[in-house]
Amino acid sequence: MRTHAISRDTEETKISLALNVDGDGNGKIDTGVGFLDHMLVLLKGHGLFDLDVYCDGDTEVDDHHTTEDIGIALGQAFREAIGNKAGITRYASVSIPMDEALATVHLDISGRPHFVYRVEGLKDKVGTFDTELVQEFFQAFTNHAGVTLHIIVVYGTNTHHMIEAIFKAFARALDQASLLNPRVKGIPSTKGVL
């Protein structure tokens, strides 16, 4: 089983996170940030990851540290869970419609962190959640997972739908790229290393 658990304890957040890449979409999410909980439930459900996340963060300040630090912990857990990347599919591209919104995610489990975020038209908030934190979450994940991640919202008018489409597309791309492919022998790179 490709699993990893992390405890991250700082002056701003206390996080425990457990990830099973080859799961069924089970787990409990309690970040203290309602909208982030909703997005992580979508991530585990659509990516078929077993994911447990608990965070006690300084949400009396705002949701920034909680959101970013969970992105860090999830990226670290994913990197450790997939190990040396032998046999993985490596690449995936997924587009997801959510009513009027369309999001596309391109992913390469490359070992090289690079993040492209082309998302325009989000309102400043969904409920009390600052939408600029979506970018912070995925930047943190990318840096610590060591992946190349491109997120593009092609169009949309409803901010909730646009972000939901992003998380669903990301979940499915991460699942597809991390799947073990019996035709892949060893590391999926002509260089022999990722």
Q: Quick check: 1 pLDDT over 90?
A: no
pLDDT band at residue 194 using 50, 70 and 90 as cut-offs:
confident
Instruction: Kindly list the structural domains of the chain, giving each domain's residue range(s) and its CATH number in brackets, ordered by start.
Output: 3-178 (3.30.230.40)
Q: How far apart are CA 77 and CA 99, in angstroms?
A: 32
How far apart (Å, rounded) are the C-alpha atoms in residues 14 and 94? 33
SS3 call for 73: helix
Strand 148-155 with 101-108, pairing: antiparallel
Model confidence pTM above 0.95: yes
pLDDT of residue 84: 94
Sign of the Cα pseudo-torsion (120, 151, 67, 48, in order): positive
- Give pLDDT tens digits for 93-137: 999 999 999 999 999 999 999 999 999 999 999 999 999 999 999
Q: What are 147-175's pLDDT values in tens digits?
A: 999 999 999 999 999 999 999 999 999 99
Count Cβ atoms within 10 A of the Cβ of residue 171 and give its class: 0-12 exposed, 13-18 middle, 19 or more buried.
Answer: buried
Give the separation between CA 77 and CA 83, rounded to whole angstroms.
10
7-48 pLDDT tens trace: 999 999 999 999 999 999 999 999 999 999 999 999 999 999
Q: Is the pLDDT of residue 190 over 90?
A: no
Task: Please give the average per-residue pLDDT across 47-57, as a whole number.
Answer: 98
